[in-house]
Amino acid sequence: MSNIYVIVEHFKGQVEDITFEMMGKAKELGDVTAVLIGAKDLASQLGGASKIICVDDPSLNNFNPEAYCKSVDAVVAAGSPDMVLVGNTSMGMDIAAGLSVSQNMPLVAYATEISSGSVVSQLYGGKMNVESSVSGACVVSVLAGSFPADAGRSDGSPVVEDMAAPDLSGLSVKFRKLIEPEGGDVDITAQEVLVSAGRGIQNEDNVPMVEELAAKLGGAVSCSRPIVDNKWLGKTRQVGKSGLKVKPKLYLALGISGAPEHIEGMKDAELIIACNTDPNAPIFEYAHYGCTADLFDLIPALSGKM
Ligand SMILES: Cc1cc2nc3c(=O)[nH]c(=O)nc-3n(C[C@H](O)[C@H](O)[C@H](O)COP(=O)(O)OP(=O)(O)OC[C@H]3O[C@@H](n4cnc5c(N)ncnc54)[C@H](O)[C@@H]3O)c2cc1C
């Protein structure tokens, strides 16, 4: 049976969903060891693993890529796993690349499917899938939203092992402070209904019609990153990897293609409805309902203007 290590991603005292996604998939492939750096108190959330290896040290209390890479490297060197799963996230990408170099293990990034012997990666924002054959030990970085997180949650009783931290003196990267995103007029993470605008809305003059629809549905407007980059809406409305994670009861995606960085922020919405003129847009892989209508026809119809 394969020995799979899952590098636990955590932030502000919570294990991130990507960890549970990876643990669920890893359980299908072999025996799961969770590698928990700098947060031993979170071990109780990792009942889905057979074993948990904890490394703790004051330098690991906050994410520091250099210190985390050294620690993960020490754990992997001692255990010789067949595969190491890391989130393809801002934190995980630092670890995956460093580990690949230090352990001389190939890295397969942007993974959306893993089986014994092959990994499928999603490239160019979902426009292309690449299947890689893997033999021998490797590092795989997994895109958020690829696997169900619930499959990795369980209340089992894994063996918990402590491992001494490697020498973390003289780090060249120092944690200074956590800069929280600025507060906004509306907290989109607390909304039950979000009407989300993507680049398909074409220009700033069309934002008010989306706002009007959101108000009619009793919700708020959110958006993809290009809308913020163009300054049509503020940063506090951005959903995704470099924006906010939302879990509304309804997420209505209008003219959003469904790039992995966007999906990461909204995949857990209870009901996702997408409108996109391109029937091959990746958003339809995540939407519970979808239509290929033109959003400029759909919005007036939903707002009762037709
Ligand atoms: C490190 C990094 C972090 C990132 N973080 C984020 C993030 O937090 N959030 C985020 O959203 N993105 C993020 N991105 C950007 C992301 O990769 C995509 O570029 C972005 O999500 C695309 O936004 P979009 O879907 O609105 O635009 P596009 O990809 O251009 O899609 C527009 C869609 O609108 C459709 N459309 C056009 N006209 C109509 C119409 N009339 N009716 C209906 N549909 C129409 C098109 O078919 C198309 O699918 C990040 C990228 C990187 C590299």
- Residue 190 above 60 pLDDT? yes
- Residue 184 above 80 pLDDT? no
Cβ-contact 81, 137 below 8 angstroms: yes
pLDDT score of 38: 97
Cβ-contact 191, 220 below 8 angstroms: yes
pLDDT band for position 24 (50/70/90)?
very high
pLDDT band for position 126 (50/70/90)?
low
How many Å lie between the centroid of ligand 1 and the Cα of residue 198?
6
State percent of the chain over pLDDT 90: 81
- Residue 241 above 90 pLDDT? no
Ligand 1 atom at shortest distance from the alpha carbon of 202: 38
pLDDT band for position 180 (50/70/90)?
confident
Mean per-residue pLDDT over the chain, rounded:
93
Calculate mean pLDDT across residues 130-137. Answer: 94
Gap between the Cα atoms of 157 and 126, Å rounded: 38
Probe ligand 1: pick from 90, 204, 241, max atoms within 8 Å of CB?
241
pLDDT score of 102: 96
Say yes or no: CB of residue 237 within 6 Å of ligand 1.
Answer: no
Ligand 1 atom at shortest distance from the alpha carbon of 198: 26
- Residue 123 above 70 pLDDT? yes
When mean pLDDT is compared across 36-45, 223-232, 241-250, the lowest value belongs to: 241-250
How many Å lie between the centroid of ligand 1 and the Cα of residue 176?
33
Gap between the Cα atoms of 294 and 44, Å rounded: 48
Ligand 1 atom at shortest distance from the alpha carbon of 296: 41
pLDDT score of 306: 64
Element of type H or E holding 66: helix 65-79
pLDDT score of 200: 98
Element of type H or E holding 100: helix 90-103
pLDDT score of 125: 63
Say yes or no: CB of residue 291 within 6 Å of ligand 1.
Answer: no
Probe ligand 1: pick from 110, 209, 262, max atoms within 8 Å of CB?
262
State percent of the chain over pLDDT 70: 97
pLDDT score of 179: 82
Calculate mean pLDDT across residues 295-301. Answer: 97
- Residue 183 above 60 pLDDT? no
pLDDT band for position 278 (50/70/90)?
very high
Residue 59 three-state SS: helix
Ligand 1 atom at shortest distance from the alpha carbon of 294: 42
pLDDT score of 146: 84
Q: Give 241 or 36, the one with higher predicted confidence.
A: 36
Which residue, chain included where needed, has tokens 């809305």?
201
pLDDT 10s digits, 158-179 = 999 999 999 999 999 999 998 8
Element of type H or E holding 55: strand 51-55
> Topology of domain 188-302, per CATH?
Rossmann fold (3.40.50)
Domain 2-163 and domain 188-302 have a common topology: yes
pLDDT score of 181: 62
pLDDT score of 272: 98
Domain chopping of the chain, boundaries: 2-163, 188-302
- Residue 214 above 80 pLDDT? yes
Query: In this structure, are strands 107-115 and 220-223 parallel, antiparallel, or unpaired?
Result: unpaired
Q: What's the CATH code, domain 2-163? A: 3.40.50.620
Probe ligand 1: pick from 205, 236, 257, max atoms within 8 Å of CB?
257
